[in-house]
Structure 1
Amino acid sequence: MNLFIVILSIAFLQVWGAANPLHKDNWFAVWADWCEALVKGNSTFAFIFAVLLPFFSIVAVQGFLLWFSPWLLLPLGMLVLLYSFGRGEFADIVSEYTKACYIEDWPSALERARRLGVDVDNLADNDWPTLHKHVLDEAGYRGFERMFAILFWCFSFGPAVAFLYRLNFLYSHNLRPDNPQAEKLLWVLEWPAVRLLGLSFALTGNFVGCFQRWKECFFCARRTTVAVLSPLILGALLVDDSMTQTDEVTRKELNLLTSLYTRTLWLWLAAAAVLIIVV
């Protein structure tokens, strides 16, 4: 069932693109504010109520529908999964950034970097190497959180846990970025997903360069998701992470990154189909 939900949801994404009509998050912002007011500013309980209560509500609805027919989970699962996928544009912004790099248009490059979520306020003018590193790190992470973290939890435990990941991501990145409980849970949810993705990169990219770095970070319990993901991407693309980030290198990395993620997505879908058939 989860594979059908994923395939149909991805098909809808291809039609909608960045204009996903389900990506309306005002309700969650209002709900989070109400939870915080209810517990009188206690950040821990506010986070628990804001994120976990909607998650358990979806679980309860799934259980109710399952009592009637498992096929009723298909439309609900699609709605939940489509909501859980990442927000806004991605590929177009990366493409526009590489074009700005090509003509060395610093203001345009900064504007595209901001749209990716890069903090550029403290960058010196025309500090291209630092900007490139930040953009590469952010682009890699955005590709991960938009699709692969969601698919990992959907295939593992169903769309409800993918929904939990998205709510936690929105809470820790957009609503309450200083909440330690949200940050810890997000790190826990991303820990297995990013390591499976890194192993997948070794199969869809350069095996030796990626697998060596994957072994170094597999048991690490201190690195952030970005600190784990970025070296794995560079290894899969056969790029020396100590190399000076010239404009040409950056364009190459970003262009190859899109292809790497596409190949890895097909690998995950094929592997899920095989596992379902075998099991």
Structure 2
Amino acid sequence: MSITLVAVVLALVLGHVAPALVASFRQYGWYTAWLHWLGESGGDAWRGRYGIALALAPIVLLVALLQWMLDGPVYGLVGLLFDIAVLVYAWGPRDLDVDVEAIIDAHDAPTRRAAIARLGLTGETAALDGPALVEAVFANALQRWFGVLFWFLLLGPVGAILYRLAARSASAPDLPEQNSRGARALKTALDWPVAQLMTLAMALVGNFDTVFSTWREAGGARFRPDTGFLAQVARASVRGELAEEAEEYAEEGMVQAMRELPELRDAMSLVWRILLLWLAVLAVFVIGGWVS
């Protein structure tokens, strides 16, 4: 777990200090070429619902072998460096907070639309749709940060690379129909426990009653592979926090300064608080391990 803390901090710091270097490191053209080759020679097995396993299994097994082999040499230092490298590679591939800041700092409509498109939103009304921006921030937080972090914590480098490649497979445009459905189902299955833990953390760092009631109404309490509840909980939580902030200003007799894109700012603030809570819990486990 101490490795996870170090690796996450490095991933965040490097994304801000050396974004060009990190961007050049996080290249997945080799995986796209691998999918293309399988599409040409994979046959009926590739076109089936579980065909994506043909793409993922060799890579995951290779990473598992390296993880096992590098764990011992030089008192585990080589393994530590490998773990950090894999997590930094799987993180992102773009830093969410940088993309959100680019939206907030954009001073004209075309620049803002281009920045919003990096979150997966397109269209003329996207820049004015606060709830859609909140959903996009949390969907990207799940895929860029928390999904990788959770599976790295659970399985090590194998989990991080599995999640990242599964996410890329789920959005790959050229997969056969059944294969693509299987890839999306795998991605949803990997996302579900992460979304549940993000919701729990949101309840702890935000309004617990609002989060809990929305989570139940959105079907989060049902054991099924669906993460739609996260978007609804995020919207309700942000809406509640903005309402509470406005009420506090009114009670103090102050006029609230109108910020641009308040939902976007509050959503990113909430994501940061969730990440800090996750890291704080990890730190407690690390300290507990040292003490014992």
TM bracket, shorter-chain basis: 0.7 to 0.9
1:35-61 Cα deviation digits (max 9, x unpaired): 222313623464112122111110111
1:251–1:119 distance in 2 versus 1, CA, 3 Å: closer
Unaligned runs of 5+ in 2: 243-257
- Relative to the length of structure 2, the TM-score reads 0.78
1:52-108 Cα deviation digits (max 9, x unpaired): 2111110111112235454432011011111111112533432343455xx7x5444
1:266 to 2:276 alignment:
yes
1:209 to 2:219 alignment:
no
Which runs of structure 2 are paired with 1:1-279 in the superposition (5 Å)?
2-17=1-16, 18-19=19-20, 20=22, 21-40=24-43, 42-44=46-48, 46-66=51-71, 68=73, 69-98=75-104, 106-120=109-123, 131-176=129-174, 179-216=180-217, 217-221=219-223, 224-225=226-227, 227-239=228-240, 251-278=261-288
Aligned residues of 1:93 and 1:115 also touching (Cα < 8 A): yes
1:240–1:82 distance in 2 versus 1, CA, 3 Å: closer
- Alpha-carbon distance in structure 2 between the residues aligned to 1:115 and 1:126: 15
SS in 2 for 1:219: coil
Aligned residues of 1:198 and 1:232 also touching (Cα < 8 A): yes
Higher-Rg structure is 2
Aligned residues of 2:3 and 2:83 also touching (Cα < 8 A): no
Give me the CA root mean square deviation.
Answer: 2.8
Unaligned runs of 5+ in 1: 242-247
1:207–1:27 distance in 2 versus 1, CA, 3 Å: same
In structure 2, give the amino acid aligned to 1:26.
G
- Alpha-carbon distance in structure 2 between the residues aligned to 1:127 and 1:259: 20
- Alpha-carbon distance in structure 2 between the residues aligned to 1:140 and 1:250: 19
Aligned residues of 2:133 and 2:263 also touching (Cα < 8 A): no
1:205 deviates by 1.4
1:176–1:127 distance in 2 versus 1, CA, 3 Å: closer
- Alpha-carbon distance in structure 2 between the residues aligned to 1:209 and 1:235: 7
Q: Percent identity?
A: 24
1:244 equivalent in structure 2: none
| Aligned length in residues | 263
Aligned residues of 1:55 and 1:163 also touching (Cα < 8 A): yes
SS in 2 for 1:259: helix
1:6 deviates by 3.5
- Alpha-carbon distance in structure 1 between the residues aligned to 2:81 and 2:146: 21
1:9 deviates by 4.1
1:97-136 Cα deviation digits (max 9, x unpaired): 3455xx7x5444432222221243xxxx55765x444332
1:245 equivalent in structure 2: none
In structure 1, give the amino acid aligned to 2:71.
L
1:240 deviates by 9.1
Aligned residues of 2:146 and 2:194 also touching (Cα < 8 A): yes
1:274–1:92 distance in 2 versus 1, CA, 3 Å: closer
2:251 equivalent in structure 1: none
- Relative to the length of structure 1, the TM-score reads 0.82
